[in-house]
């Protein structure tokens, strides 16, 4: 799929994609094996894995000019930063082959100082991924650390953040923002800054990758279950309720007015179809406004007449999960997470804990070493 035009935003995935019915995750779970972990020696640029076999890639390649792993085919010891970026783009081309159409990559990559200057390597990767590789960069997540290794520099601040780049080959990728928000618990869309401190490393691996980063990426972009026949992921099906948070004075007053004037469930749905505002600039950007039926418009106006400024409160009503899309083939499988720079296997082990199958590839396997610890 070609990249969107400049300034446009890819449409969100349709929630009922591939569904003939709505069932529960438990209905498929009893037919599944325990999560599997598979490791193979190999190059991230040529994994040998089948096409369309992976739902999510979470990985942290060696940073440029940081550490020599002693392998002739290693990435990270290229002669120039641009050669390193080219190597990462070769990886991305291979990863696009093994990803399913709804797949994502969460790429943790840091920058490097060279001749007293940062090189902007993450930005170079993003630029080339979009302009040469045909990828979409959906987020540049900031991994912020409250502590870190001592930094001897006296004329600049200590580095306390890295990037996690979320890339997708298509605008129609799997994404469970509702489930993620419920887990993180700080808003409907918690934002792109993750404050996660490094975990204590118990082995020789010098670049421990926190399990929390893996867990968050999995919650966002790795379906728990996928059909083994059509490779379609099961997506959350949600409905908006009329329930508000009574601890908020505005919400409490909105509920009181709705009850006093006997607004129906159809009135509440009409409010929600209009969104935050039914007038002005907002009507040009909201999905429901301007395309509602005359009956919905009538009900919304009735509600606005009695609610006044509290009209908008019902657009923030709680949502609930009613089930998950079911394609009807009856061939359940777990979502698959790949780490092509598997290292000590933190990504793989975390994926198993989260109920996904895990596949690891690495030139220098360290799976027999101690894992990172809290």
Please check the confidence at residue 371 and state whether its pLDDT lies above 60: no
The neighbouring-strand residues paired with 161 are 144
- Residue 243 binned pLDDT confidence (cut-offs 50, 70, 90): confident
Question: Residue 371: how many CB atoms within 10 A of its CB?
Answer: 18
Question: Residue 232: how many CB atoms within 10 A of its CB?
Answer: 20
pLDDT of residue 230: 96
Q: For residues 340 and 42, what is the distance between their CA atoms, to the nearest angstrom?
A: 8
Indicate the SS3 state at residue 314: helix
Query: Phi and psi at residue 308, in whole multiples of 5°?
Result: 60, -130
pLDDT of residue 200: 63
Mean pLDDT of 225-246: 92
Mean pLDDT of 218-234: 97
Please check the confidence at residue 119 and state whether its pLDDT lies above 90: yes
- Residue 19 binned pLDDT confidence (cut-offs 50, 70, 90): low
* Pairing assessment for the beta strands 21-23 and 319-326 based on DSSP bridges: antiparallel
- Residue 141 binned pLDDT confidence (cut-offs 50, 70, 90): very high
Burial class for 280, CB neighbours closer than 10 Å (0-12, 13-18, 19+): exposed
Closest CA to 105 of 77, 121, 86, 129: 129
Written as one string, the DSSP assignment of 237-255 is EEEE-S---TTSHHHHHHH
Q: For residues 49 and 28, what is the distance between their CA atoms, to the nearest angstrom?
A: 26
Q: For residues 210 and 148, what is the distance between their CA atoms, to the nearest angstrom?
A: 13
- Residue 367 binned pLDDT confidence (cut-offs 50, 70, 90): low
200 DSSP 8-state letter? B
Q: For residues 95 and 43, what is the distance between their CA atoms, to the nearest angstrom?
A: 11
Please check the confidence at residue 11 and state whether its pLDDT lies above 90: no
pLDDT of residue 132: 95
Average of per-residue pLDDT values in the chain: 87
- Residue 283 binned pLDDT confidence (cut-offs 50, 70, 90): very low
Please check the confidence at residue 274 and state whether its pLDDT lies above 90: no
Q: For residues 19 and 59, what is the distance between their CA atoms, to the nearest angstrom?
A: 31
> What sign does the dihedral 354-360-364-367 (CA atoms) show?
positive
Q: For residues 104 and 171, what is the distance between their CA atoms, to the nearest angstrom?
A: 10
Mean pLDDT of 325-353: 96
Range from 74-83, 163-172, 276-285, 324-333 carrying the lowest mean pLDDT: 276-285
């Amino acid at each position: 799929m070609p990249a969107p035009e400049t300034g446009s935003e890819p449409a969100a995935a349709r929630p009922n994609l591939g569904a003939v019915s709505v069932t529960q995750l438990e209905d498929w779970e009893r037919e599944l094996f325990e999560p599997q972990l598979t490791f193979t020696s190999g190059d991230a640029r040529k994994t040998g894995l089948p096409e369309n076999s992976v739902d999510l890639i979470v990985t942290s390649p060696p940073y440029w000019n940081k550490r020599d792993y002693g392998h002739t085919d290693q990435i990270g010891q290229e002669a120039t930063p641009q050669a390193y970026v080219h190597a990462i783009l070769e990886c991305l081309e291979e990863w696009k082959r093994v990803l399913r159409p709804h797949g994502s990559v969460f790429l943790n990559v840091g920058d490097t100082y060279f001749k007293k200057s940062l090189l902007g390597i993450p930005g170079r990767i993003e630029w080339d991924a979009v302009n040469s590789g045909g990828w979409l960069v959906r987020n540049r997540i900031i991994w912020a650390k409250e502590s870190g290794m001592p930094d001897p520099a006296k004329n600049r601040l200590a580095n306390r953040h890295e990037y996690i780049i979320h890339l997708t080959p298509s605008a129609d990728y799997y994404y469970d923002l509702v489930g993620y928000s419920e887990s993180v618990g700080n808003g409907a869309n918690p934002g792109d800054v993750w404050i996660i401190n490094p975990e204590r490393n118990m082995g020789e691996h010098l670049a421990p990758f926190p399990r929390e980063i893996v867990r968050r990426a999995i919650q966002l972009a790795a379906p728990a279950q996928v059909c083994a026949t059509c490779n379609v992921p099961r997506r959350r099906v949600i409905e908006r309720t009329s329930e508000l948070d009574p601890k908020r004075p505005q919400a409490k007053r909105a509920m009181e007015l709705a009850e006093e004037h006997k607004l129906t469930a159809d009135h509440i749905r009409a409010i929600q179809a209009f969104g935050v505002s039914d007038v002005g600039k907002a009507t040009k950007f909201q999905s429901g406004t301007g395309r509602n039926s005359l009956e919905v418009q009538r009900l919304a106006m009735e509600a606005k007449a009695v609610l006044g400024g509290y009209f908008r409160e019902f657009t923030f009503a709680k949502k609930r999960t009613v089930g998950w899309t079911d394609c009807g083939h009856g061939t359940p499988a777990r979502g698959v997470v790949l780490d092509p720079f598997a290292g000590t296997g933190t990504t793989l082990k975390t994926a198993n804990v989260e109920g996904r199958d895990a596949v690891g590839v690495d030139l220098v396997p360290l799976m027999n070493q101690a894992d990172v610890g809290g």
